[in-house]
């Protein structure tokens, strides 16, 4: 996975590059708008708006006019008007500095998941007696179909992508609800409780206190 980081400030760009590389990403750095416009072949763009030779919003507009590559704006501009303009110009997400690397990588995964065509991934996931079909949005346990709501299905499918791996509450809310979810986090607990009940196993979705949830492998 190749990521273009468009950031002129080395105090931000260098640790960001290092953190992404530790997470397994191949990182390319651009420090100016001109470098960002150079047509580098990448899978995702992290775009700062305050560039020394131009406005990142113009760069976002130009990239989107020529490519469908996912774009996440990462900037100190936190006003609502800036968010709206960035998203309307084609950005897939908007993250305000300062932010944690864990939140950023969760946003990256969520954006890539939304931009990946359904046919590009194996539609059926099996975890023990549990079977999840993303294409038909059906779930069975021991061959018996279980009726889930759309959000319950998306939550279960997310946890089933890597059974045993912990997903943070922020990552789940970003991926299943919205990258800019402002509602109560209690919503997640309600859906987890409902999943446990419908799947007939109170331990199938495990709570990792202070962090999030995982699907028991």
Residues 131 and 199 in one domain: yes
Give tens-digit pLDDT for 16-38.
Answer: 999 999 888 999 999 999 999 88
- pLDDT surpassing 80 at residue 64: yes
Tokens of 51: 């560039």
Query: Domain holding 55: CATH number?
Result: 3.40.50.2300
Residues 111 and 58 in one domain: yes
**Partners of 126 in beta bridges:** 131
Averaged pLDDT score across all residues of the chain: 87
Of 89, 115, 141, the one marking the end of a domain is: 115
Residues 145 and 205 in one domain: yes
In the prediction, which pLDDT does 185 show? Answer: 60
Of 115, 132, 160, the one marking the end of a domain is: 115
CA distance 200 to 194: 10
Residues 78 and 169 in one domain: no
Query: Domain holding 148: CATH number?
Result: 1.10.10.10
Residues 66 and 124 in one domain: no
CA distance 90 to 68: 9
**Dihedral, 91, 96, 98, 103 alpha carbons, nearest 10:** -60
Beta-carbon-side half-sphere exposure of residue 23 (alpha carbons within 13 Å): 19
- pLDDT surpassing 70 at residue 101: yes
pTM for this entry: 0.59
In the prediction, which pLDDT does 137 show? Answer: 83
CA distance 63 to 8: 18
Residues 6 and 111 in one domain: yes
Give tens-digit pLDDT for 156-209.
Answer: 999 998 888 888 888 888 888 765 555 556 788 999 999 999 999 999 999 999
Domain that holds residue 147: 118-215
Which residue shows structure tokens 């331990």?
A: 203
Residues 53 and 109 in one domain: yes
Number of Cβ within a 10 Å radius of residue 191: 21
Residues 87 and 141 in one domain: no
Provide the domain count of the chain: 2
Share of the chain above pLDDT 90, in %: 47
Residues 77 and 159 in one domain: no
Can you tell me whether residue 80 is helix, strand or coil? Answer: helix
- pLDDT surpassing 90 at residue 213: yes
Residues 50 and 103 in one domain: yes
Beta-carbon-side half-sphere exposure of residue 206 (alpha carbons within 13 Å): 10
Residues 98 and 174 in one domain: no
Which residue shows structure tokens 């709570």?
A: 207
The sign of the dihedral angle between the CA atoms of 70, 74, 77, 79 is positive
Residues 11 and 110 in one domain: yes
Of 93, 115, 137, the one marking the end of a domain is: 115
Ordered DSSP codes for 115-167: HS-GGGS-SEEEETTEEEETTTTEEEETTEEE---HHHHHHHHHHHTSTT--E
């Amino acid at each position: 996975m190749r990521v273009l980081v468009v950031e002129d400030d080395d105090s931000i760009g260098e640790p960001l590059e290092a953190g992404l590389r530790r997470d397994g990403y191949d990182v390319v750095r651009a420090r100016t708008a001109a470098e960002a416009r150079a047509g580098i072949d990448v899978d995702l763009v992290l775009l700062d708006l305050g560039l020394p030779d131009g406005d990142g919003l113009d760069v976002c507009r130009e990239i989107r006019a020529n490519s469908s590559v996912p774009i996440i704006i990462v900037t100190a501009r936190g006003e609502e008007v800036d968010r709206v303009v960035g998203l309307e110009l084609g950005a897939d997400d908007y993250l305000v500095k300062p932010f944690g690397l864990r939140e950023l990588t969760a946003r990256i995964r969520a954006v890539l998941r939304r931009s990946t065509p359904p046919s590009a991934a194996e539609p059926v996931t099996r975890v023990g007696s549990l079977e999840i079909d993303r294409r038909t949005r059906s779930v069975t346990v021991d061959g018996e179909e279980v009726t889930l709501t759309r959000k319950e299905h998306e939550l279960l499918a997310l946890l089933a992508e890597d059974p045993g791996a912990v997903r943070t509450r922020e990552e789940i809310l970003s991926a299943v609800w919205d990258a800019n979810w402002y509602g109560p986090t209690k919503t997640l607990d309600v859906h987890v409780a409902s999943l446990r009940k419908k799947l007939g196993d109170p331990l199938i979705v495990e709570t990792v206190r202070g962090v999030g949830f995982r699907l028991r492998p």
